[in-house]
Amino acid sequence: METNSKNPKIKILKDGPYFVSGSVSLSEKLIVSRGHGYILEEGRELPQSAEYALCRCGHSKNPPFCDGTHVKIGFKGNETASKSGFDDRAGILHGPGLDLLDDRRCALPGSATGNKETSGN
């Protein structure tokens, strides 16, 4: 594998995974409740590589890595990025002792590697 850490890239493959190149280190962080707040803790150790195919459909049996399931389920990667500001996109999620202003981009299960029930959203 060719290593090029000075030129990291992410390519979105049509109806497929995110292809990451340039020897980008990959790690998992867990959000853990502590007292009245949250902290980040190290998650599981992930294999390191010069290139990765990361799941975008949310159905891989080996997240965060792509296992080809997107082909079997007919995943359509039609999502687009909003150009509106955060305040225009966000809504309030009420919780016990804490309300969260959230634009629902990354905080939902399946937004990148979880089990999203609908494809392409």
pLDDT digits (tens, 9 = 90+) for 4-17: 457 999 999 999 99
Own/partner contacts of 102-110, CB < 8 Å, gap of 24 or more, are 110/58
Q: Which of 26, 30, 17 is nearest to 57 (CA)?
A: 17
Q: Which residue has the tokens 């975008």?
A: 56
| Domain 9-80 grouped into CATH 3.40.5.90 | yes
Using one digit for the tens of pLDDT, what is the confidence trace for 16-65? 999 999 999 999 999 998 998 889 999 999 999 999 999 999 999 999 99
Domain range list for the chain = 9-80
pTM: 0.64
